Protein backbone atom coordinates (compact mmCIF):
# COMPACT_ATOMS: atom_id res chain seq x y z
CA UNK A 1 0.00 0.00 0.00
CA UNK A 2 1.59 3.28 -1.01
CA UNK A 3 1.99 6.15 1.38
CA UNK A 4 1.53 9.83 0.70
CA UNK A 5 2.58 12.89 2.70
CA UNK A 6 0.41 15.97 2.09
CA UNK A 7 1.31 19.31 3.64
CA UNK A 8 -1.16 22.20 3.85
CA UNK A 9 0.10 25.74 4.42
CA UNK A 10 -1.55 28.42 6.52
CA UNK A 11 -3.47 30.12 3.71
CA UNK A 12 -4.93 26.76 2.70
CA UNK A 13 -6.30 26.34 6.24
CA UNK A 14 -7.41 29.90 6.90
CA UNK A 15 -11.04 29.09 7.78
CA UNK A 16 -13.40 26.19 8.49
CA UNK A 17 -14.35 25.71 4.83
CA UNK A 18 -10.68 25.50 3.80
CA UNK A 19 -9.97 22.97 6.53
CA UNK A 20 -12.88 20.85 5.26
CA UNK A 21 -11.54 21.17 1.73
CA UNK A 22 -8.07 19.95 2.80
CA UNK A 23 -9.70 17.15 4.78
CA UNK A 24 -11.64 16.04 1.69
CA UNK A 25 -8.42 15.84 -0.32
CA UNK A 26 -6.81 13.64 2.32
CA UNK A 27 -9.90 11.42 2.49
CA UNK A 28 -9.87 11.07 -1.30
CA UNK A 29 -6.27 9.81 -1.18
CA UNK A 30 -7.28 7.38 1.57
CA UNK A 31 -10.23 6.11 -0.49
CA UNK A 32 -7.87 5.61 -3.44
CA UNK A 33 -6.05 3.11 -1.25
CA UNK A 34 -3.17 5.16 0.10
CA UNK A 35 -1.88 5.57 3.62
CA UNK A 36 -2.11 9.27 4.33
CA UNK A 37 0.06 11.45 6.56
CA UNK A 38 -0.98 15.09 6.72
CA UNK A 39 1.30 17.88 7.90
CA UNK A 40 -0.40 21.16 8.74
CA UNK A 41 0.74 24.72 9.46
CA UNK A 42 -0.96 27.23 11.70
CA UNK A 43 -4.20 28.71 10.29
CA UNK A 44 -3.88 31.82 8.11
CA UNK A 45 -1.62 34.36 9.76
CA UNK A 46 -1.80 32.76 13.19
CA UNK A 47 1.98 32.55 13.61
CA UNK A 48 2.41 36.25 12.78
CA UNK A 49 -0.38 37.11 15.21
CA UNK A 50 1.23 35.07 17.99
CA UNK A 51 4.55 36.77 17.27
CA UNK A 52 3.04 40.23 17.54
CA UNK A 53 1.36 39.22 20.79
CA UNK A 54 4.77 38.24 22.12
CA UNK A 55 6.30 41.51 20.94
CA UNK A 56 3.50 43.44 22.67
CA UNK A 57 4.65 41.87 25.92
CA UNK A 58 8.43 42.02 25.48
CA UNK A 59 10.76 43.44 22.83
CA UNK A 60 13.11 40.46 23.01
CA UNK A 61 11.19 37.53 24.54
CA UNK A 62 13.09 34.40 25.66
CA UNK A 63 13.37 32.07 22.66
CA UNK A 64 12.22 29.05 24.69
CA UNK A 65 8.97 30.86 25.49
CA UNK A 66 8.57 32.02 21.89
CA UNK A 67 8.67 28.38 20.80
CA UNK A 68 6.19 27.47 23.51
CA UNK A 69 3.85 30.15 22.14
CA UNK A 70 4.31 29.64 18.39
CA UNK A 71 3.78 25.88 18.46
CA UNK A 72 0.23 26.42 19.71
CA UNK A 73 -0.71 27.60 16.19
CA UNK A 74 -0.05 24.18 14.66
CA UNK A 75 -1.70 22.44 17.60
CA UNK A 76 -4.96 24.24 16.80
CA UNK A 77 -4.74 23.11 13.16
CA UNK A 78 -4.07 19.42 13.83
CA UNK A 79 -7.02 19.18 16.22
CA UNK A 80 -9.42 20.97 13.84
CA UNK A 81 -8.24 18.86 10.91
CA UNK A 82 -8.83 15.66 12.89
CA UNK A 83 -12.34 16.92 13.74
CA UNK A 84 -13.04 17.70 10.06
CA UNK A 85 -12.01 14.20 8.97
CA UNK A 86 -14.02 12.66 11.80
CA UNK A 87 -17.05 14.73 10.82
CA UNK A 88 -16.76 13.32 7.29
CA UNK A 89 -16.96 9.82 8.72
CA UNK A 90 -13.30 8.81 8.57
CA UNK A 91 -10.77 8.00 11.25
CA UNK A 92 -7.93 10.38 12.01
CA UNK A 93 -5.55 11.19 14.83
CA UNK A 94 -3.62 14.38 15.50
CA UNK A 95 -0.06 14.22 16.83
CA UNK A 96 2.32 16.86 18.15
CA UNK A 97 6.07 16.51 17.57
CA UNK A 98 6.48 15.32 21.15
CA UNK A 99 3.83 12.62 20.72
CA UNK A 100 5.33 11.22 17.56
CA UNK A 101 8.98 11.67 18.53
CA UNK A 102 10.33 14.31 16.16
CA UNK A 103 13.57 15.17 17.92
CA UNK A 104 15.61 18.29 17.18
CA UNK A 105 18.67 20.00 18.61
CA UNK A 106 18.06 22.68 21.24
CA UNK A 107 18.48 25.81 19.10
CA UNK A 108 15.14 27.47 19.91
CA UNK A 109 13.41 29.17 16.92
CA UNK A 110 15.84 27.57 14.44
CA UNK A 111 16.18 23.96 15.58
CA UNK A 112 17.30 21.23 13.21
CA UNK A 113 15.69 17.81 12.98
CA UNK A 114 17.91 15.03 14.37
CA UNK A 115 15.64 12.01 14.20
CA UNK A 116 12.04 11.02 13.68
CA UNK A 117 10.56 7.93 15.23
CA UNK A 118 8.13 6.18 12.89
CA UNK A 119 6.76 3.75 15.44
CA UNK A 120 3.70 5.78 16.49
CA UNK A 121 2.86 6.87 12.94
CA UNK A 122 3.13 3.30 11.66
CA UNK A 123 0.88 2.06 14.45
CA UNK A 124 -1.82 4.63 13.67
CA UNK A 125 -1.60 4.04 9.92
CA UNK A 126 -1.84 0.32 10.55
CA UNK A 127 -5.08 0.99 12.46
CA UNK A 128 -6.42 2.65 9.30
CA UNK A 129 -6.25 6.24 10.48
CA UNK A 130 -5.21 9.36 8.63
CA UNK A 131 -2.31 10.72 10.70
CA UNK A 132 -2.15 14.49 11.17
CA UNK A 133 1.19 15.90 12.27
CA UNK A 134 1.87 19.40 13.58
CA UNK A 135 4.39 21.04 11.24
CA UNK A 136 7.17 23.44 12.24
CA UNK A 137 7.67 21.97 15.74
CA UNK A 138 10.02 19.57 17.46
CA UNK A 139 11.15 18.42 20.85
CA UNK A 140 14.75 18.34 22.05
CA UNK A 141 16.47 15.55 23.94
CA UNK A 142 15.45 17.01 27.29
CA UNK A 143 11.80 17.41 26.31
CA UNK A 144 11.84 21.14 25.51
CA UNK A 145 9.56 22.34 22.72
CA UNK A 146 11.40 23.80 19.70
CA UNK A 147 10.52 25.29 16.31
CA UNK A 148 12.34 24.78 13.01
CA UNK A 149 12.28 28.33 11.60
CA UNK A 150 9.59 30.32 9.78
CA UNK A 151 7.99 28.40 6.95
CA UNK A 152 9.38 25.09 8.19
CA UNK A 153 6.22 23.01 8.07
CA UNK A 154 7.50 22.18 4.58
CA UNK A 155 10.57 20.71 6.25
CA UNK A 156 8.50 18.61 8.65
CA UNK A 157 6.66 17.21 5.61
CA UNK A 158 9.76 16.49 3.53
CA UNK A 159 11.56 14.89 6.49
CA UNK A 160 8.54 12.68 7.21
CA UNK A 161 8.28 11.71 3.55
CA UNK A 162 11.97 10.72 3.66
CA UNK A 163 11.69 8.71 6.89
CA UNK A 164 8.48 6.96 5.79
CA UNK A 165 9.81 6.23 2.30
CA UNK A 166 6.97 8.09 0.55
CA UNK A 167 7.37 8.25 -3.25
CA UNK A 168 6.41 11.94 -3.26
CA UNK A 169 5.84 14.80 -0.81
CA UNK A 170 2.92 17.04 -1.77
CA UNK A 171 3.03 20.69 -0.69
CA UNK A 172 -0.41 22.32 -1.05
CA UNK A 173 -0.30 26.10 -1.06
CA UNK A 174 -1.99 29.24 -2.41
CA UNK A 175 -0.08 29.27 -5.72
CA UNK A 176 -0.23 26.47 -8.26
CA UNK A 177 3.51 25.85 -8.26
CA UNK A 178 6.93 27.44 -8.24
CA UNK A 179 7.05 30.43 -10.57
CA UNK A 180 9.91 32.22 -12.35
CA UNK A 181 9.40 34.97 -9.75
CA UNK A 182 7.01 35.62 -6.88
CA UNK A 183 3.73 36.13 -8.80
CA UNK A 184 2.57 38.62 -6.18
CA UNK A 185 5.42 40.94 -7.25
CA UNK A 186 5.81 39.97 -10.91
CA UNK A 187 2.37 39.29 -12.41
CA UNK A 188 3.98 38.05 -15.68
CA UNK A 189 5.84 35.25 -13.89
CA UNK A 190 5.33 31.76 -15.32
CA UNK A 191 4.92 28.42 -13.62
CA UNK A 192 7.94 26.13 -13.83
CA UNK A 193 6.91 22.50 -14.51
CA UNK A 194 10.10 20.87 -13.24
CA UNK A 195 13.00 22.27 -11.27
CA UNK A 196 16.09 20.55 -9.87
CA UNK A 197 16.66 20.24 -6.15
CA UNK A 198 19.79 22.37 -6.52
CA UNK A 199 18.14 25.25 -8.37
CA UNK A 200 15.20 25.21 -5.94
CA UNK A 201 17.61 25.20 -3.00
CA UNK A 202 19.31 28.29 -4.39
CA UNK A 203 15.96 29.95 -5.11
CA UNK A 204 14.71 29.25 -1.58
CA UNK A 205 17.96 30.49 -0.04
CA UNK A 206 17.76 33.64 -2.19
CA UNK A 207 14.27 34.47 -0.96
CA UNK A 208 11.65 32.42 -2.85
CA UNK A 209 9.39 31.96 0.18
CA UNK A 210 7.27 29.31 -1.53
CA UNK A 211 9.48 26.53 -0.10
CA UNK A 212 11.54 26.24 3.06
CA UNK A 213 15.08 25.45 1.93
CA UNK A 214 15.70 22.64 4.41
CA UNK A 215 12.68 20.82 2.97
CA UNK A 216 14.43 20.80 -0.40
CA UNK A 217 17.62 19.54 1.28
CA UNK A 218 15.68 16.58 2.68
CA UNK A 219 14.12 15.92 -0.71
CA UNK A 220 17.52 15.94 -2.35
CA UNK A 221 19.28 13.85 0.27
CA UNK A 222 16.65 11.11 0.27
CA UNK A 223 15.61 11.58 -3.35
CA UNK A 224 11.96 12.32 -2.54
CA UNK A 225 10.40 14.49 -5.27
CA UNK A 226 8.42 17.43 -3.89
CA UNK A 227 5.23 18.38 -5.73
CA UNK A 228 4.28 22.03 -5.05
CA UNK A 229 0.65 22.54 -6.05
CA UNK A 230 -2.53 24.47 -5.42
CA UNK A 231 -4.86 23.47 -2.63
CA UNK A 232 -7.77 24.77 -4.73
CA UNK A 233 -7.39 22.74 -7.92
CA UNK A 234 -6.26 19.34 -9.15
CA UNK A 235 -3.85 20.84 -11.69
CA UNK A 236 -0.31 19.51 -11.78
CA UNK A 237 2.05 21.93 -10.07
CA UNK A 238 5.86 22.01 -9.99
CA UNK A 239 7.98 18.91 -9.44
CA UNK A 240 11.17 19.57 -7.50
CA UNK A 241 13.31 16.61 -8.45
CA UNK A 242 16.71 15.31 -9.56
CA UNK A 243 18.10 17.22 -12.52
CA UNK A 244 17.04 16.08 -15.99
CA UNK A 245 18.63 16.78 -19.34
CA UNK A 246 15.83 19.18 -20.23
CA UNK A 247 16.61 21.44 -17.31
CA UNK A 248 20.27 21.84 -18.26
CA UNK A 249 19.33 23.71 -21.42
CA UNK A 250 17.99 26.57 -19.38
CA UNK A 251 20.33 29.11 -17.92
CA UNK A 252 18.38 31.74 -15.98
CA UNK A 253 15.41 29.91 -14.47
CA UNK A 254 14.11 32.35 -11.95
CA UNK A 255 14.61 35.60 -10.10
CA UNK A 256 14.10 36.23 -6.40
CA UNK A 257 13.83 39.06 -3.94
CA UNK A 258 15.00 38.78 -0.35
CA UNK A 259 13.66 41.67 1.68
CA UNK A 260 14.43 40.85 5.27
CA UNK A 261 18.14 41.66 5.09
CA UNK A 262 20.47 44.00 6.93
CA UNK A 263 24.01 45.07 5.98
CA UNK A 264 26.57 45.29 8.76
CA UNK A 265 29.63 47.40 7.90
CA UNK A 266 32.77 47.36 9.98
CA UNK A 267 34.90 50.39 9.15
CA UNK A 268 38.65 50.76 9.59
CA UNK A 269 39.27 47.12 10.46
CA UNK A 270 42.98 46.40 11.16
CA UNK A 271 44.12 44.44 8.07
CA UNK A 272 46.17 41.78 9.83
CA UNK A 273 46.01 37.97 9.65
CA UNK A 274 43.36 36.40 11.83
CA UNK A 275 41.04 39.41 12.19
CA UNK A 276 38.36 38.19 9.76
CA UNK A 277 38.59 34.73 11.33
CA UNK A 278 37.94 36.20 14.80
CA UNK A 279 35.03 38.30 13.59
CA UNK A 280 33.21 35.50 11.78
CA UNK A 281 33.94 32.93 14.49
CA UNK A 282 32.23 35.22 16.98
CA UNK A 283 29.30 35.86 14.61
CA UNK A 284 28.87 32.10 14.00
CA UNK A 285 29.09 31.34 17.72
CA UNK A 286 26.00 33.51 18.13
CA UNK A 287 24.16 31.49 15.44
CA UNK A 288 23.99 34.50 13.10
CA UNK A 289 23.88 33.33 9.49
CA UNK A 290 26.01 35.45 7.18
CA UNK A 291 24.94 35.87 3.57
CA UNK A 292 27.49 37.76 1.44
CA UNK A 293 30.78 39.23 2.61
CA UNK A 294 32.69 42.07 0.91
CA UNK A 295 36.07 43.42 1.99
CA UNK A 296 37.93 46.43 0.57
CA UNK A 297 41.47 47.22 1.60
CA UNK A 298 42.74 50.81 1.78
CA UNK A 299 45.30 52.99 3.52
CA UNK A 300 48.16 51.19 1.78
CA UNK A 301 46.91 47.86 3.05
CA UNK A 302 46.77 48.93 6.70
CA UNK A 303 43.00 48.93 7.06
CA UNK A 304 39.93 47.36 5.49
CA UNK A 305 36.20 47.96 5.32
CA UNK A 306 34.27 44.76 5.84
CA UNK A 307 30.55 44.43 5.11
CA UNK A 308 28.26 41.45 5.31
CA UNK A 309 24.54 40.83 4.98
CA UNK A 310 22.42 38.96 7.52
CA UNK A 311 18.73 38.36 8.18
CA UNK A 312 17.32 41.55 9.61
CA UNK A 313 15.89 39.61 12.58
CA UNK A 314 19.48 38.99 13.65
CA UNK A 315 20.48 42.69 13.37
CA UNK A 316 20.24 43.63 17.09
CA UNK A 317 22.29 40.60 18.10
CA UNK A 318 24.82 41.17 15.29
CA UNK A 319 25.21 44.82 16.26
CA UNK A 320 25.94 43.86 19.87
CA UNK A 321 28.45 41.17 18.82
CA UNK A 322 30.22 43.56 16.41
CA UNK A 323 30.37 46.41 18.89
CA UNK A 324 32.04 44.11 21.42
CA UNK A 325 34.48 42.98 18.73
CA UNK A 326 35.16 46.57 17.65
CA UNK A 327 36.26 47.48 21.17
CA UNK A 328 38.47 44.39 21.45
CA UNK A 329 40.09 44.50 17.98
CA UNK A 330 40.44 48.27 17.47
CA UNK A 331 37.84 48.44 14.67
CA UNK A 332 36.89 52.03 13.70
CA UNK A 333 33.09 51.72 13.73
CA UNK A 334 30.02 49.56 13.22
CA UNK A 335 27.16 50.65 10.95
CA UNK A 336 23.93 48.63 10.63
CA UNK A 337 21.76 49.37 7.58
CA UNK A 338 18.36 47.70 7.80
CA UNK A 339 17.03 49.27 4.60
CA UNK A 340 18.38 46.85 2.00
CA UNK A 341 17.08 43.96 -0.13
CA UNK A 342 18.75 41.49 -2.44
CA UNK A 343 17.65 40.64 -5.98
CA UNK A 344 19.06 37.47 -7.51
CA UNK A 345 18.99 35.67 -10.84
CA UNK A 346 19.34 31.91 -10.58
CA UNK A 347 20.14 29.10 -12.90
CA UNK A 348 22.75 26.64 -14.06
CA UNK A 349 26.24 27.79 -15.06
CA UNK A 350 25.65 31.45 -14.32
CA UNK A 351 29.34 32.25 -14.13
CA UNK A 352 30.23 30.56 -17.40
CA UNK A 353 27.35 31.88 -19.52
CA UNK A 354 28.71 35.21 -20.61
CA UNK A 355 26.35 38.13 -20.72
CA UNK A 356 24.13 37.13 -17.82
CA UNK A 357 25.70 39.53 -15.34
CA UNK A 358 25.66 42.39 -17.83
CA UNK A 359 22.00 41.72 -18.72
CA UNK A 360 21.16 41.97 -15.05
CA UNK A 361 23.16 45.17 -14.48
CA UNK A 362 21.66 46.72 -17.65
CA UNK A 363 18.18 45.95 -16.37
CA UNK A 364 18.92 47.76 -13.11
CA UNK A 365 20.47 50.67 -14.99
CA UNK A 366 17.28 50.97 -17.10
CA UNK A 367 15.24 50.97 -13.92
CA UNK A 368 17.56 53.71 -12.56
CA UNK A 369 18.31 51.57 -9.53
CA UNK A 370 21.68 51.80 -7.82
CA UNK A 371 23.56 48.57 -7.05
CA UNK A 372 25.09 48.64 -3.57
CA UNK A 373 26.87 45.31 -3.74
CA UNK A 374 27.27 42.40 -6.16
CA UNK A 375 28.02 38.76 -5.50
CA UNK A 376 28.23 35.81 -7.87
CA UNK A 377 28.45 32.06 -7.57
CA UNK A 378 28.06 29.10 -9.90
CA UNK A 379 24.26 29.35 -9.78
CA UNK A 380 23.41 32.85 -8.55
CA UNK A 381 24.11 36.49 -9.33
CA UNK A 382 22.86 38.86 -6.64
CA UNK A 383 22.72 42.62 -6.20
CA UNK A 384 22.00 44.48 -2.99
CA UNK A 385 19.62 47.40 -3.60
CA UNK A 386 17.65 49.82 -1.42
CA UNK A 387 14.59 48.10 0.09
CA UNK A 388 12.15 50.42 -1.72
CA UNK A 389 13.71 49.54 -5.09
CA UNK A 390 13.41 45.75 -4.65
CA UNK A 391 10.06 44.97 -6.34
CA UNK A 392 10.81 47.23 -9.33
CA UNK A 393 14.29 45.68 -9.65
CA UNK A 394 12.73 42.21 -9.69
CA UNK A 395 10.27 43.12 -12.45
CA UNK A 396 12.97 44.68 -14.65
CA UNK A 397 15.33 41.71 -14.25
CA UNK A 398 12.54 39.19 -14.90
CA UNK A 399 11.69 41.08 -18.08
CA UNK A 400 15.33 41.43 -19.21
CA UNK A 401 15.83 37.66 -19.11
CA UNK A 402 12.59 37.09 -21.02
CA UNK A 403 11.25 34.88 -18.26
CA UNK A 404 7.70 35.88 -19.11
CA UNK A 405 8.04 34.07 -22.45
CA UNK A 406 7.61 30.32 -22.83
CA UNK A 407 10.74 28.26 -23.58
CA UNK A 408 13.08 31.07 -22.75
CA UNK A 409 16.65 30.17 -23.69
CA UNK A 410 18.28 33.57 -23.26
CA UNK A 411 21.84 33.48 -22.06
CA UNK A 412 22.30 29.79 -22.77
CA UNK A 413 24.78 30.34 -25.62
P1 LIG B 1 1.99 28.44 2.72
O2 LIG B 1 1.18 29.15 3.75
O3 LIG B 1 1.18 27.53 1.87
O4 LIG B 1 3.22 27.79 3.28
P5 LIG B 1 3.67 30.55 1.69
O6 LIG B 1 3.16 31.93 1.86
O7 LIG B 1 4.74 30.08 2.62
O8 LIG B 1 2.43 29.57 1.71
O9 LIG B 1 4.20 30.33 0.20
C10 LIG B 1 3.40 30.67 -0.91
C11 LIG B 1 3.74 32.07 -1.39
O12 LIG B 1 5.11 32.10 -1.81
C13 LIG B 1 2.99 32.52 -2.59
O14 LIG B 1 1.75 33.11 -2.24
C15 LIG B 1 3.93 33.51 -3.26
O16 LIG B 1 3.56 34.85 -3.06
C17 LIG B 1 5.26 33.26 -2.59
N18 LIG B 1 6.37 33.05 -3.54
C19 LIG B 1 7.59 33.63 -3.47
N20 LIG B 1 8.35 33.28 -4.47
C21 LIG B 1 7.63 32.44 -5.24
C22 LIG B 1 7.87 31.73 -6.45
N23 LIG B 1 9.05 31.80 -7.08
N24 LIG B 1 6.89 30.94 -6.95
C25 LIG B 1 5.70 30.84 -6.33
N26 LIG B 1 5.40 31.50 -5.18
C27 LIG B 1 6.34 32.29 -4.64
N1 LIG C 1 3.37 28.40 10.93
C2 LIG C 1 4.80 28.51 10.69
C3 LIG C 1 5.14 29.85 10.08
O4 LIG C 1 4.25 30.64 9.81
C5 LIG C 1 5.34 27.38 9.86
C6 LIG C 1 4.82 27.31 8.44
O7 LIG C 1 3.84 27.96 8.08
O8 LIG C 1 5.43 26.56 7.64
O9 LIG C 1 6.28 30.15 9.89
MG1 LIG D 1 5.22 28.29 3.54
| 299 pLDDT tier (thresholds 50, 70, 90) | confident
Separate counts of helices (H) and strands (E) for the chain: 13, 18
For β-strands 130-134 and 92-95, DSSP reports them as parallel
pTM, rounded to two decimals: 0.92
- Distance CA(364)–CA(186), nearest Å, equals 15
Q: Which residues line ligand 2 (CB under 6 A)?
A: 9-10, 41-42, 47, 73, 135-136, 150-154
- Distance CA(369)–CA(393), nearest Å, equals 7
- Per-residue model confidence (pLDDT) at position 413: 31
Q: Which residues line ligand 1 (CB under 6 A)?
A: 9-12, 41, 151, 173-175, 178-179, 181-184, 208-210, 254
Instruction: Give the tens place of pLDDT for each residue, 367-395.
Output: 999 999 888 888 999 999 999 999 999 99
For range 51-71, the mean pLDDT: 96
Q: Are 202 and 225 in contact (CB under 8 A)?
A: no
CA diameter of the chain: 77
- Distance CA(201)–CA(150), nearest Å, equals 16
Give me the residues near ligand 3 (ion), CB cutoff below 5 Å: 9, 151
Instruction: Give the tens place of pLDDT for each residue, 106-129.
Output: 999 999 999 999 999 999 999 999
> Is the per-residue pLDDT at 326 higher than 60?
yes
Amino acid sequence: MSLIVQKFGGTSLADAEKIHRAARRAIRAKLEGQRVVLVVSAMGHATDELLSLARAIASDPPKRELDMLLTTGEQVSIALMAMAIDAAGHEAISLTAAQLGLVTDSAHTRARIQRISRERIDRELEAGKIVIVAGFQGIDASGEITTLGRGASDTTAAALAAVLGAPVCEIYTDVDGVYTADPRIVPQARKIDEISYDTMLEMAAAGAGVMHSRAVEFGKKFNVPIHVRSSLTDAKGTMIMAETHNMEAMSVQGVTLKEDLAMISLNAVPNTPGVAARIFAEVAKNHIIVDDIVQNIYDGGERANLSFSINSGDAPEARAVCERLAAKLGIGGVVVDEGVSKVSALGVGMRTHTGIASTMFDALAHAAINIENISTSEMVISCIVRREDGPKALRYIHDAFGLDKPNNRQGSA
